[in-house]
Structure 1
Amino acid sequence: MAEPSDSNQWKTLDKDLNRISQIEYATSYVARPLIGPGIALAFMVIAGFAAALLFGTYPNNMIVVAAAVFGAYMALNIGANDVANNMGPAVGANALTMSGAIIIAAICESAGALLAGGDVVSTISKGIIDPSGMEEIRVFTWAMMAALISAALWVNLATKVGAPVSTTHSVVGGVMGAGIAAAGFTAVNWPTMGAIAASWVISPVLGGVIAAAFLALIKNRIIYQDDKIAAARKWVPILVAIMAGTFAAYLALKGLKRIVKIDLETALLIGLAIGVVTYFTTRPMIRRQSEGMENRNKSLKALFGLPLVLSAALLSFAHGANDVANAVGPLAAIVHANEFGAFAGEVAIPMWVMVIGAFGISFGLFLFGPKLIRMVGSQITKLNPMRAYCVALSAAITVIVASWLGLPVSSTHIAVGGVFGVGFFREWHMERRLRNNSANQGKPKSIPAEERRRRKLVRRSHFMTIVAAWIVTVPAAAAMSAVIFLLLNALIR
């Protein structure tokens, strides 16, 4: 009987090796979506170990460890959802690449949280509930734990469906739901809740109106001028100075709580001074940059690129300084209650809690952030550097106006409202120009309904999804928190 030849043996071996390589390729392809959740889980475990080591051997050590794990989970979800509002417009306008935006946001968010983050936070989320209505520390601890878990779950769900929601409102809803379950409806400060509900409407509308107003100014004074470059040399330094002054006031008001307490009037004076200095500094720079540019809109976009990147970085720093403390507030409350055996309206945030928040945001941004960044930056409406600049500027101005009016607002609602404002203004402006052109040419002024639908510049499906998510954020987080509190209170006595 003839033995198999060497060539047949090699062919068989090649086939077997090819099958093995195909299996390895399929395994790596299937495992790829699990890399992000795996890293996130590892970070949560590390946060738990860090809490076990740093908190010490207090009687309720395991409760703090569990809270640290859920606090890390919350921080990951903030990075995946909330940071997109700051970086999305810059990415959508092609002023930043996705990787560049993620790196800048991670650095600025972490720096804002660790360098300028508030060292004191209201554990009951700006007076939403009265902790004195809770009879004992155990009840208060489970209420804060339920608020933390429900807020994290809701933000995670919103990220899955592609809806940027307010982290602060999620925490507020969680605290309210747990407070009602623990001490009844009388524990809730309903006037404060009414002000928060009003901000759902006021902040995005105000952000949209301001963004649309600046876009109208840019179109009127620069884009539609015969000599666009000359107009840009006059107006761009003014716009950059407004941006610098606004962000200086914004950071002084919101981002420097740990260093010094600044009132609104002082913050506005600081902003005015910075704005004047910026104007005289950028005027010659813009003149040099615009030399040799062609008289077209594409040239104008280059002049707004760097200011847009700087505004996105400053927004991320201010967000890290202001919102991270709110997100880890329930965790700080649990740590304080179990360390001192008492709860308080305001407590100091331990540095290790802020580190969990800062690093969690960075990890969440790297692992899961691109989805929402693309949504805010390009899928709602088309942005260029000038439109994105208007969105970033409106966010800072709206926060200052809201602080002056004493309204609790969400940076998420403001930024996304600015994107919607820019998009709807473009729709209105385009329809108006078409009507004027038709009138000048002797054609009917009315535009057919199908043509009007075809020219929509804001995707209505995203608009409805986001608005619906905003409306149900507080009640959904509250309902989940109440259920989680009742389960914790029933299972662990």
Structure 2
Amino acid sequence: MVEGPDGTPVNQWKTLDKDLQRIGRVEDGAQFVSRPMVAPGLALAFVVLAGVGAAILVQGEPGNWVIVAAAVIGAYMALNIGANDVANNMGPAVGAKALPLLGALCIAAIFESAGALVAGGDVVNTVAKGIIDPTALPDPAHFVWAMMAALLSAALWLNLATWFGAPVSTTHSIVGGVVGAGIVAAGFGAIDWSSMGMIAASWVISPMMGGVIAACFLAFIKAKVLYVEDKIAAARVWVPVLMGVMAGAFATYLALKGLKHVLQIGLVSALGIGGMVGILCWAFAVPFVRLKSKGLENRKKSLKKLFGLPLVVSAALLSFAHGANDVANAVGPLAAIVHTLQAGAIAQEVSLPIWVLTVGALGISVGLLLFGPRLIRLVGSEITKLNTVRAFCVALSAAITVIFASWLGLPVSSTHIAVGGIFGVGFYREYDAEKRARRLGIQKGKPVPPEERKRRLLVRRSHMMTVAAAWVVTVPASAGLSAVIYLVLDALT
């Protein structure tokens, strides 16, 4: 401090303080503006790194620049799978508060990568779901452009759907891409329309099966555990049974879906494995539940603690199976392009180079960590309110529905099943609440008026319409994009 002419103290640093405050506000503003660009910047760095790595590995080989471009698109596709599809596995656990968001992201990233690398398979089909016959295309070059167009269109559609906040099927996206490019390249006759009909039917069958099974389990738990007089005693009987069913269902699910590339297991064998695992889990769960239930109050809220650990385990197992299966959506077309360019011929099945599989596995995890939280929150808490019991029913329905679909030979989407399970739980809650309100109203002589019943709706209809519209549009949208991209690539070359 210095003194002024009149002897009063003067702050000689006042101007400097004001300047520093202005600089601080500018820095805060810059951070606020730049923060949304961090995730896209890291994603771009991953895509570039994938391209550089591919360039180093395939230098000197025929069509190396095309392989590099395909690797970049495959990395972009894997990012979008992680951003959109993985939310269906972790959303219920996060919405039920069984896992914090960061913990869910870390678990999903680890198990998605493990599933892709351990059970992702060393052989994949070159064309998704047998939709198109590769021999119908004029030559290998046109096949390469068709796969490039399918991969890029599916990635773009997934990116758009994620931006709109709609969980869609990555499998249906890549199928639509193959259909669009296949029609332009070889005509309508090259498409297996019976397979397409089955896929269209799965739009309705998958969510309905998932929703009905999830609602049935929730109704069972409410009737046998939550709404009985002695809830603790009922929980000690039925919760171990439900854990055994869950373990058996997931063992069967993983045998059919997650480990099919490592071991060839039929449905009967998978059910046998699931049965043995279920019985063992039930035997271990009986003392576990008895110990966990000691000291719990005889009320519904206390019992929700018993479902926390099984829900976390189920979410991890779903992520493992998802990584094992859906990594092929990102790297299957990429592996087909690499094989076709190196061999100079089209093959029905191709081997998966380890670097291709790594691009898919890492891309799914990076996409999940950077862009997954938004859809995880939507799936977990914005469709209907979930707790550990309801989320447990959703996870269990996902595994059981896949088993039923495999038995019936139906192509189903894990995305549709999981989201359908959430809607099923929500609609059952509405039905149960309405039934109880009517019963109480009749007892008191005060029926619930229609406007009050409407206010008590427990499922957000706006999300239901958005999701349903995105599901229906997925195949046509990705097909249209793919057709345009194929025409551009064909014209350029």
Structure 2 gaps of 5+ residues are none
Aligned to 2:313: 310
The match for 1:148 among 147, 151, 167 is: 151
AA matched with 2:233: A
How many Å apart are 1:255 and its aligned residue? 1.1
Question: Whole-Å Cα distance in 1 between the matches of residues 20 and 437 of structure 2?
Answer: 65
CA displacement, residues 121-152 of structure 1 (integer Å, 9 cap, x when unaligned): 11110111111111112111111001011000
- Correspondence 1:178-217 to 2 at 5 A: 178-217=181-220
How many Å apart are 1:440 and its aligned residue? 2.4
Are positions 1:13 and 2:16 aligned together? yes
Question: Whole-Å Cα distance in 1 between the matches of residues 370 and 446 of structure 2?
Answer: 54
Asked if structure 2 preserves the Cα contact closer than 8 Å seen for 1:252 and 1:262, the reply is yes
Are positions 1:46 and 2:74 aligned together? no
- Correspondence 1:5-154 to 2 at 5 A: 7=10, 9-154=12-157
Question: Whole-Å Cα distance in 2 between the matches of residues 165 and 417 of structure 1?
Answer: 12
Asked if structure 2 preserves the Cα contact closer than 8 Å seen for 1:207 and 1:418, the reply is yes
How many Å apart are 1:11 and its aligned residue? 1.6
Aligned to 2:456: 455
How many Å apart are 1:258 and its aligned residue? 3.1
What TM-score do the two structures reach when normalised by structure 1? 0.97
Asked if structure 1 preserves the Cα contact closer than 8 Å seen for 2:171 and 2:413, the reply is yes
Question: Whole-Å Cα distance in 2 between the matches of residues 13 and 421 of structure 1?
Answer: 63
CA displacement, residues 360-391 of structure 1 (integer Å, 9 cap, x when unaligned): 11111111100000000000000000000000
How many Å apart are 1:9 and its aligned residue? 4.6
AA matched with 1:19: R
The match for 1:220 among 187, 204, 223 is: 223
Aligned to 1:256: 259
AA matched with 2:341: N
Q: Which deviates the most, 285-294 or 232-241?
A: 285-294
Are positions 1:358 and 2:361 aligned together? yes
Question: Whole-Å Cα distance in 2 between the matches of residues 166 and 49 of structure 1?
Answer: 29
CA displacement, residues 206-234 of structure 1 (integer Å, 9 cap, x when unaligned): 00000000000000000000000000000
How many Å apart are 1:326 and its aligned residue? 2.7
AA matched with 2:421: G
Question: Whole-Å Cα distance in 2 between the matches of residues 206 and 291 of structure 1?
Answer: 36
Asked if structure 2 preserves the Cα contact closer than 8 Å seen for 1:121 and 1:326, the reply is no
AA matched with 1:80: A
Aligned to 1:485: 486
Aligned to 2:405: 402
Q: Partner of 2:45: helix, strand, or coil?
A: helix
Are positions 1:472 and 2:470 aligned together? no
Q: Partner of 1:46: helix, strand, or coil?
A: helix
Are positions 1:237 and 2:240 aligned together? yes
How many Å apart are 1:254 and its aligned residue? 1.1
Asked if structure 2 preserves the Cα contact closer than 8 Å seen for 1:119 and 1:348, the reply is yes
Q: Partner of 1:126: helix, strand, or coil?
A: helix
Asked if structure 2 preserves the Cα contact closer than 8 Å seen for 1:168 and 1:327, the reply is no
Asked if structure 1 preserves the Cα contact closer than 8 Å seen for 2:115 and 2:322, the reply is yes
CA displacement, residues 37-79 of structure 1 (integer Å, 9 cap, x when unaligned): 0000000000001111122311210111011011111111111
Aligned to 1:292: 295
AA matched with 2:76: Y
Q: What is the Cα-based RMSD across aligned positions, in Å?
A: 1.4
Asked if structure 1 preserves the Cα contact closer than 8 Å seen for 2:95 and 2:387, the reply is yes
Q: Which deviates the most, 433-442 or 60-69?
A: 433-442
How many Å apart are 1:8 and its aligned residue? 5.8
CA displacement, residues 12-60 of structure 1 (integer Å, 9 cap, x when unaligned): 2222222222212211111100000000000000000111112231121
How many Å apart are 1:439 and its aligned residue? 2.1
How many Å apart are 1:257 and its aligned residue? 2.4
CA displacement, residues 292-334 of structure 1 (integer Å, 9 cap, x when unaligned): 1100111101000000000000000000011111332111111
Asked if structure 2 preserves the Cα contact closer than 8 Å seen for 1:424 and 1:457, the reply is yes
How many Å apart are 1:10 and its aligned residue? 1.8
Asked if structure 1 preserves the Cα contact closer than 8 Å seen for 2:379 and 2:419, the reply is yes
AA matched with 1:177: G
Q: Partner of 1:328: helix, strand, or coil?
A: helix
Q: Partner of 2:350: helix, strand, or coil?
A: strand
Aligned to 1:338: 341
AA matched with 1:452: R
Question: Whole-Å Cα distance in 2 between the matches of residues 66 and 407 of structure 1?
Answer: 34
Question: Whole-Å Cα distance in 2 between the matches of residues 229 and 416 of structure 1?
Answer: 31
Question: Whole-Å Cα distance in 2 between the matches of residues 425 and 258 of structure 1?
Answer: 37
Q: Partner of 2:424: helix, strand, or coil?
A: helix
Asked if structure 1 preserves the Cα contact closer than 8 Å seen for 2:258 and 2:321, the reply is yes
Question: Whole-Å Cα distance in 1 between the matches of residues 48 and 441 of structure 2?
Answer: 65
Divergent runs of 4+, >3 A: 3-9
Asked if structure 1 preserves the Cα contact closer than 8 Å seen for 2:48 and 2:72, the reply is yes
Asked if structure 1 preserves the Cα contact closer than 8 Å seen for 2:157 and 2:474, the reply is yes
Question: Whole-Å Cα distance in 1 between the matches of residues 212 and 333 of structure 2?
Answer: 34
Q: Which deviates the most, 4-13 or 238-247?
A: 4-13
Aligned to 1:348: 351
AA matched with 2:330: A
How many Å apart are 1:489 and its aligned residue? 0.7
Question: Whole-Å Cα distance in 2 between the matches of residues 219 and 290 of structure 1?
Answer: 17
Q: Partner of 1:200: helix, strand, or coil?
A: helix
How many Å apart are 1:256 and its aligned residue? 1.2
- Correspondence 1:316-327 to 2 at 5 A: 316-327=319-330
Question: Whole-Å Cα distance in 1 between the matches of residues 325 and 177 of structure 2?
Answer: 19
Question: Whole-Å Cα distance in 1 between the matches of residues 10 and 354 of structure 2?
Answer: 68
Q: Partner of 1:121: helix, strand, or coil?
A: strand
The match for 1:168 among 164, 171, 175 is: 171
Question: Whole-Å Cα distance in 2 between the matches of residues 327 and 128 of structure 1?
Answer: 17
Are positions 1:301 and 2:266 aligned together? no
Structure 1 gaps of 5+ residues are none
Question: Whole-Å Cα distance in 2 between the matches of residues 383 and 463 of structure 1?
Answer: 16
Q: Tell me the number of residue pairs that the alignment of Structure 1 and Structure 2 aligns.
A: 488
How many Å apart are 1:4 and its aligned residue? 9.6
Q: Which deviates the most, 433-442 or 449-458?
A: 433-442
